[in-house]
Amino acid sequence: MEQKKRPLIYGATLILIGLIMGLGISSNLNWSSKATTEETKISQEATDILSKTGRAMAEVAAAVKPSVVNISSTKTIRVPAGHSPFFDDPFFNRFFGDEFGRLGQPREHKESGLGSGVIVDKDGYILTNNHVIKDADEIKVKLSDKREFKGRVIGTDPKTDLAVIKIDSNYLPVMKMGDSEKLKVGETVITIGNPFGLNQTVTSGIVSATGRADVGIADYEDFIQTDAAINPGNSGGALVNVRGELVGINTAIFSTSGGYMGIGFAIPSSMAKIVMDNLIKKGKVDRGWLGVSIQPITQDLAKQFGIKDDKGALVGDVVEDGPAEKAGIQRGDVIVEFDGKAVSDPSSLRNSVAGTSPSKKVTLKVMRNGNKQAMDVTIAEQPAEKQKVQGEFDNLLKGVRVQGLTPELKRQLNIPKRIGGVVVADIDEESPAAGLLTPNDVIIEVNRKRIANTKDYEAVVSGISSGQDILLLIYRSGSTIYLSLSARQ
């Protein structure tokens, strides 16, 4: 009898468990649905804040977009001739036709580029990057209202990668120039340009860093770093603050793929304004000159020179009869302040000096023997760069242009003090030395004759005949090597 009851008891128990579980599942489903509803609910306050932020960004973008233009440039590229002896062989020309022979002749083709620019004056002056319009045969400027104009170059400054062009139109929408010195890390900024030829593209982000130097883009660097998307075609476009003011000119990106990776650089408006004013008024940039060689302060050097931290620029050398020497600055001084502005590193001092008008008197503060001293110095005009030797010799060094190896060039190219000579500035594609010599090679000897400067180089090379072989001793990539130029090659 008890054996018959057990299945009934088990069955009832299972039914009861099922009911309990069913109720639990139903309860859980109801709770989950309720929780989901509560989690996705957005408060009116949050909606209002985001709506106001969105409207504000849209207003700023709408206000500044008309001042940003599309720049397209065209330049002629010369393709060097082939070097095969078969190109001039009548036998091959007979069978393959005259077109075969023409393959050995120099050819030209047109190359187009796209970039951006910012209207900075109602009379048609536009600020952009030098590399956007470099060597351009033709420049076309397209405004936001689809009008197109022919642009002409007013002036360029490769040392900052800035240029000013002009179009013949009046009463254009001008972007107000802001003060990049007031920018703070974390501040919201907007970029406007023409990435990949897509006109009037707006992106936003924050200021990631200021005062970026040693990036390797230009000689004078004080970049604003931003995570606002910058892509090819954005160069020369605007970096704008929330007040719709121009605080930077977009110039480059850090990328391993050629596209946006969250790091972009813009030339600050404080630097751009000085360059722009000089280019518009004079067609060139007058830079200040102090007459010192400087280097960074390491922790070890700070201890040696009695400095509490590694801020400042250590004077390694003083140019004879230069402004610094006349003011009493000595080798071993650490410049910590220039014209009321703290000097954080050599780059900041170079930028401050370069941006100072020649003949202006400023006060420097230096650390000497652990004591701070103030000195007045009158900034001079930066000496003109030594002219390149044009290389119009009738021998195997024809088409090779060199220039003097200055202390500044040595620093830039990381050349040891023991190395002297002349540095190769550029080489014609048709030069017999093309493919053997490369820019930035330092020529130490020519035919076993020591070269100390451009005068030595001209004297030695001018005496070499057209059919004479040449032996060069050069410095390249950390070592010295011999190169032989043979007239029989």
The rounded percent of the chain whose pLDDT value lies above 90 is 43
- Reduced to 3 states, what is the DSSP secondary structure of residue 453? coil
Average model confidence (pLDDT) across the chain = 83
Flag whether pLDDT at 480 surpasses 80: yes
pLDDT band at 90 (very low <50, low <70, confident <90, very high): low
List Cβ neighbours of 48 (8 Å cut-off, separation of 6 or more): none
- Residue of 72, 131, 208, 441 marked catalytic: 131
Cα–Cα distances (Å) from 166 to 121, 140, 169, 295, in that order, read 10, 11, 9, 39
Query: For 262-271, 318-327, 480-489, which range has the lowest pLDDT when averaged over its residues?
Result: 480-489
State the pLDDT at residue 247.
Answer: 96
CA dihedral 56, 59, 60, 66 (to 10 degrees): 170
List Cβ neighbours of 353 (8 Å cut-off, separation of 6 or more): 287, 288, 289, 290, 338, 379
Q: Give pTM, 2 decimals.
A: 0.66
Distance CA 155, CA 150 (A): 16
Strand partners, 115: 71
- Residue of 67, 73, 116, 161 marked catalytic: 161
- Residue of 72, 235, 269, 347 marked catalytic: 235
Distance CA 240, CA 261 (A): 20
Can 219 be counted among the known catalytic residues?
no
Flag whether pLDDT at 21 surpasses 60: no
Report all structural domains of the chain as residue ranges with CATH numbers, in order of start: 66-166 (2.40.10.10), 288-381 (2.30.42.10), 400-485 (2.30.42.10)
Give Cα 360 distance to the centre of its chain: 29
List Cβ neighbours of 64 (8 Å cut-off, separation of 6 or more): 175, 190, 192, 238, 240, 244, 246
Can 161 be counted among the known catalytic residues?
yes
Q: For tokens 């062989």, name the residue.
A: 89
pLDDT band at 39 (very low <50, low <70, confident <90, very high): low
Can 255 be counted among the known catalytic residues?
no
Query: Do residues 62 and 192 lie in contact, with contact meaning Cβ atoms separated by under 8 Å?
Result: no
Q: What is the pLDDT of residues 358-414, one digit of tens each?
A: 999 999 999 888 889 999 999 999 886 555 555 578 899 998 999 888 777 887 788
Distance CA 117, CA 120 (A): 9
Q: Which amino acid is at 147?
A: R
